[in-house]
Structure 1
Amino acid sequence: MPIHLECLSHTPLHGYFDPVPEVLAEVERVQAAARERVLAYDPELVVVFAPDHYNGFFYDLMPPFCIGAAAHSIGDYKSLAGPLPVPTELAKELVGSVLAADIDVALSYRMQVDHGCAQALEVLTGGLDRFPVIPVFINSVAPPMGRMRRARLLGEAIGRFLAHSGKRVLVIGSGGISHEPPVPELTGANAEATERLIAGRNPTPEARNARQDRTIAAARAFTAGASNMHPLNPEWDRAFLVRLAFELSAVDGMTNEEIVREGGRSAQEIRTWVAAFGALSAYGAYRASLDFYRPIPEWIAGFAAMHAVPAAA
């Protein structure tokens, strides 16, 4: 059965602190074109590889990978809130298939997803519930993490299952490239922050707003050059995107230390792109198009969009 891939960066800062109108319009044109492709393709199933930013997954139990058999978007920043239409039995079958392929993955019947998942669905489909969707969480912010090769193998295992599902599938990878927004770290955190990282689910509206305000302030400082956050790295970003398009297995040699050194701590989100391309690669050779890339300091992100299809399509 056919498969189509869309990978794109997300940002919680859209609508809060935007780049100049010309850049914003360019991003929105690229997103609209991607949505047109998706709606013309009319998928029967969507699989979203997405990170979490200490909104649904915490250190009380931090799996490297988790597949949702039921999921709900929390609606942080301006992302949509509400349930995702997850086909529960199919998600359970997917978990079993991935485990049988010797890839350890967790299962959740109450997955909470944040803007990292919801924004991609809204941009590409116009909402949360237009198509059946299975969310796949990939830990991208909470060390320790496995090697990049594990994300590729996870994607391949999921792709092999999808290829025999009898469904027209859309796979999505949602994550930034080089970026290091003010996501907290457990190492060195005080007692209050430690507890928030271990078990900080369902904060009060006031606490969530305070967190959003800190992120917006950090973006303003970063854009003004008054921040010590890791700089964006367009050269590294572009080299990674080329690997996805032409030599996916080359990501296996990327170490976690290299990713942080070159792209910043949150550049670990590239795992979502790797997993999505891994799923596509299970269908055979593919051809990929880089639709957009630009470093956008207002969004603290190397911002990109790609789509890809099997070579025979």
Structure 2
Amino acid sequence: MTALVECLSHTPLVGHVDPQQAVLDEVAAVISAARERVAQFQPDLVVLFSPDHYNGFFYDVMPSFCIGMAAHAIGDFGTLAGALSVPQTLAESCATAVLEQGVDAAVSYRMQLDHGAAQPLELLFGGLREVPVIPVFINSVATPLPSFQRARLLGAAIGRWAREQNLRVLFLGSGGLSHQPPVPELAQVEGLMADRLKGSGRYLPADEREARTQRVILAAQRFVHDQNSLHPLNPEWDQQFLDTLSRGELAAFDSLSNAELSAVAGKSTHEVKTWVAAFAALQAFGPYQCSGRYYREIPEWIAGFGALSAQPCAAGL
């Protein structure tokens, strides 16, 4: 029937390492405006494109894409925990349509999600079960990674499916922009850490979970004082990315390789593929117009922090 896109950076560091109050107030206003747009839109269904940070997907089986038939959030970094309200029949229909359109996406009837999925639902809806949600995982940290082109084609396939459902669909993208927090890489670890990345980390003991949280907090504290302690943020690239999305030139990202993106903006910047997928889904409804653009470097959150909304040009909220 019609659609809306809301893309928003997430961060597990809220409340752990925060910027000045003025910046917190600024971000809160951006989130409040997005929440108001969503409330006015009154979605019947949310399609949530999100990454994972070795909390739900591991190297025992690491798909490029996975569509959840049922899902729960683990509550890492103090985010909400519990089951999402996933409409199984609709999710199965979506997964079938995507495969029929030539995009290979795995399915999961027991999808485990982390803060990357839970945080935007909490911020925009106040909970995990307030609205039906189909979660769509896009691998953004575990090499080999899907390309921009494949993420775009995934989004476009989901958008074409959604267009036929006679529903008001919110495409929600969670991730980005430039950043590279201390995420382990399989090629650089061994022993217990390698075993965790290969699957045993799915049910991480509480003490290890807390130690992992503290490592990220410490890295953020160091990054505030030394922007070279991690890959520097790249506000110029981030703004160009937002410009390209706003112009609807999604295929322009196809020529950007994964290695080039990691080098220019950081290895976790691959999360922006969730934004590309969300906008590609919206394009299935026709040309779109953007609003709600926001960007700020926030080193306390190890993030080029952004937001962008869009709706079809012919639509009205």
Q: Assess same fold via TM > 0.5.
A: yes
Once the 2 structures are TM-superposed, how far is the Cα of residue 126 of structure 1 from its aligned partner?
Answer: 1.4
State the alpha-carbon separation in 1 of the partners of residues 142 and 217 from structure 2.
22
Report whether the alignment pairs 1:235 with 2:222. Answer: no
Shift, 1:127, TM fit: 1.1
CA distance in 2, matches of 1:226, 1:24: 20
Shift of 1:100: 0.1
Q: Secondary structure at the match of 2:186?
A: coil
Taking only the aligned residue pairs, the percentage that are identical comes to 56
What displacement does 1:204 show?
1.2
What letter is aligned with 1:198?
K
User: Contact 1:157–1:279 at 8 Å: present in 2 too?
Assistant: yes
1:304 aligned partner: 306
For 1:278, the aligned partner's letter is A
| Counterpart-to-counterpart distance in 1, 2:145 and 2:36 | 35
Which blocks of at least 5 consecutive residues in structure 1 are unaligned? Answer: none
In the TM superposition, what are the counterparts of 1:41-52 in structure 2 within 5 Å? 41-52=41-52
1:146 Cα deviation from its structure 2 partner: 2.1
Residue of structure 1 in register with 2:90 after alignment: 90
For 1:176 and 1:217, the matched residues in 2 are separated by 20
Partner of 1:251: 253
Q: Post-superposition shift, 1:190?
A: 1.8
| Contact 1:221/1:227 (<8 A) preserved | no
Report the Cα distance in structure 1 between the residues aligned to 2:150 and 2:78, rounded to whole angstroms.
32
Whether the 8 Å contact between 1:51 and 1:174 is mirrored in structure 2 is yes
Instruction: Tell me, in whole angstroms, the C-alpha distance in 1 between the residues paired with 2:139 and 2:264.
Output: 19
Normalization by structure 2: what TM-score? Answer: 0.97
CA gap 1:206/1:284 in 2 versus in 1, 3 angstroms:
same
CA deviations on 1:116-135 (whole Å, 9 max, x unpaired) are 00001111111111100000
Aligned-pair CA distance for 1:39: 1.1
* Equivalent in the alignment of 1:135: 135
In 1, the alpha carbon distance for the partners of 2:205 and 2:189 equals 21
How many angstroms apart in 1 are the aligned matches of 2:268 and 2:308?
A: 19
Report 1:1-313 matches (<5 A): 1-199=1-199, 200-225=201-226, 227-246=228-247, 247-313=249-315
Determine the C-alpha separation between the residues in 2 that align with 1:263 and 1:238. Answer: 12
User: How many residues align structurally?
Assistant: 313
Shift of 1:227: 4.9
TM-score (norm 1): 0.99
After superposition, what is the alpha-carbon deviation per residue over 1:19-69, rounded to whole angstroms, capped at 9, x for unaligned?
Answer: 011001100110011011111111000000000000000000000000000
How far does residue 299 in structure 1 lie from its aligned partner after superposition?
0.3
Report the 3-state secondary structure (helix = DSSP H, G, I; strand = E; otherwise coil) of the residue aligned with 1:57.
coil
Aligned equivalents of 1:214, 1:146: Cα separation in 2: 28
In structure 1, distance between residues paired with 2:309 and 2:256: 22
Instruction: Note closer, same or farther for the CA distance 1:287–1:222 as it changes in structure 2 (3 Å cut).
Output: same
Unaligned runs of 5+ in 2: none
User: 2:128, 2:225 → 1: CA distance?
Assistant: 35
Once superposed, what is the RMSD of the aligned Cα atoms? Answer: 0.9
